[in-house]
Amino acid sequence: MGGGIAGCSTALQLAERGYRVALLESERIGWGASGRSGAQAIAGVACGHAKLERLIGAADARRVWDVSVEGLRWQRELIERYAIDCDYIAGQMHVALKARQERELREEVEFLHHSLNYPSVRLVEREELRQTIASDRYVAGTFDSQGGHLHPLKYTQGLAAAAEQAGVQIYESSRALSYMPVSWGGSRGFEVRTVAGQLHCRELALCGNAWLGSLAPPLARKIMGVGTYIVATEPLGAERAAALIRNNAAVSDINWILNYFRRSADHRLLFGGPVSYSGFDLHSARHSARARMLKVFPQLADVAIDHAWGGYVDITQNRAPHFGRLDGAYFLQGFSGHGIALTGIAGKLLAEAIAGSSERFDVFARIPHSDFIGGDWLRRPALVLAMLYFRLRDLL
């Protein structure tokens, strides 16, 4: 269930292993977060390595890190193997706005080099950064040659096309209403009811993330859909666009309420970051995103915003990914903004588990997760209050 990157990747890997696979999508392929994201491919997980070590120990945290790095390579391999035309560009940067954040980046580079043996990331000092990003806002940064960015909808649709060519039957506009474990012929399986009919399967993978909703309440309690927004400027022309980010990397600051931006293949600036924990208002977000963009690039004051869109990111309370099993069904969710590469490799891990080799999947399944406090009515107001603290922290 779910026609995003996680669902398409899982379906593709299973079909190539010889399984007969059906993929159910309630809307269209890539309709959710996979097709609307900021599309920055980043190593690691959103909660950070130190927190992950506290949750599952150093050895398992290292295994999660290694899978995330493999995910970056795996994404490039999929793009090449299936000739997916998705405007992939190598290079991703994190940037600091203040001295405290600069120290954090320096410590991170040291840790990645010496503790995780990851030499692909390097520190970018202030002068080089000013030559790379045409903004006075940032004091230092990091550059990761293994990261990158792409057109997320093209990538997701490319995975779906590869899956379909491998034999996957894709059913769009087929919202799942319920599922239940059943048995027939002495074997266990599942019956899935959809708006269009029923489906019977031996194995079931729930990859709907923030859109599962009432289909799996125990999973829905572990995540919350947070509205995030992106705007695209009018075409700037090749020269003007290149002057904004000279190395054409994807860029993200390290505030809790962050900004992220990159150039598009048609020479626009894509700028995202305004988030809503209390509701979804695309009209006000469009103006908010433009105002934030002009703080970074005031030289774009004369540039119009051609497009604006938004969607929901599924976050967990601890910002770690949430994999596991529910009533015998497998699930992937809670990528918390780090999904563009991690969802693809997660599909590979899930396919391995279904095929009988669950060791790597089970490392992620050992990460503990709590329900969001407040139940159905108070969980969002409680999160809004918590986020006020982090907004204030960004200002210090």
Using a 10 angstrom Cβ sphere, with 0-12 exposed, 13-18 middle and 19 or more buried, the burial of residue 375 is exposed
The encoded tokens of residue 76 equal: 């490039």
Tens-place pLDDT, residues 64-115: 999 999 999 999 999 999 999 999 999 999 999 999 999 999 999 999 999 9
DSSP 121-142: EEEE-HHHHHHHBS-SS-SEEE
Residues 305 and 233 reside in one and the same domain: yes
Q: In the structure, what pLDDT confidence band is assigned to residue 390 with cuts at 50, 70 and 90?
A: very low
Q: Other C-beta atoms within 10 Å of 322: how many? A: 24
- Cα separation, 230 vs 273, in Å, equals 7
pLDDT in the model for residue 384: 53
* Nearest in space to 240 (alpha carbons), one of 184, 180, 174, 302: 302
- Cα separation, 262 vs 37, in Å, equals 12
Residues 292 and 155 reside in one and the same domain: no
Query: What angle, rounded to 10 degrees, do the helices at 58-81 and 339-354 form?
Result: 100
Give mean pLDDT, residues 154-176. Answer: 97
Residues 265 and 129 reside in one and the same domain: yes
Residues 71 and 155 reside in one and the same domain: yes
Identify whether the C-beta of residue 143 lies closer than 8 Å to the C-beta of residue 12. no
Report the domain count for the chain. Answer: 2
Tens-place pLDDT, residues 168-177: 999 999 999 9
Identify whether the C-beta of residue 321 lies closer than 8 Å to the C-beta of residue 336. yes
- Cα separation, 21 vs 206, in Å, equals 13
Does the model's pTM come out above 0.85?
Answer: yes
Residues 53 and 8 reside in one and the same domain: yes
Q: Which residue has the tokens 């690691």?
A: 44
Residues 103 and 55 reside in one and the same domain: no
Q: How far, CA to CA in Å, does 211 sit from each of 105, 207, 382?
A: 34, 9, 21
Q: In the structure, what pLDDT confidence band is assigned to residue 334 with cuts at 50, 70 and 90?
A: very high
Residues 305 and 160 reside in one and the same domain: no
- Backbone φ/ψ region at 359: left (φ over 0), alpha (ψ -120 to 50), beta: alpha
Residues 127 and 16 reside in one and the same domain: no
Residues 2 and 71 reside in one and the same domain: yes
SS3 label, residue 305: strand
Residues 242 and 386 reside in one and the same domain: yes
Domain that holds residue 31: 1-87+150-221+318-365
pLDDT in the model for residue 185: 72
Q: In the structure, what pLDDT confidence band is assigned to residue 383 with cuts at 50, 70 and 90?
A: low
pLDDT in the model for residue 214: 86
Q: Which long-range contacts (CB under 8 A, 24 or more apart) does 17-20 make?
A: 17/351, 17/355, 19/354, 20/167
Give mean pLDDT, residues 211-217. Answer: 88
Q: What is the CATH number of the domain that holds 388?
A: 3.30.9.10
- CA-based angle 234:240:241, to the nearest 5? 65
Residues 306 and 162 reside in one and the same domain: no
Residues 51 and 31 reside in one and the same domain: yes
Q: What is the CATH number of the domain that holds 199?
A: 3.50.50.60
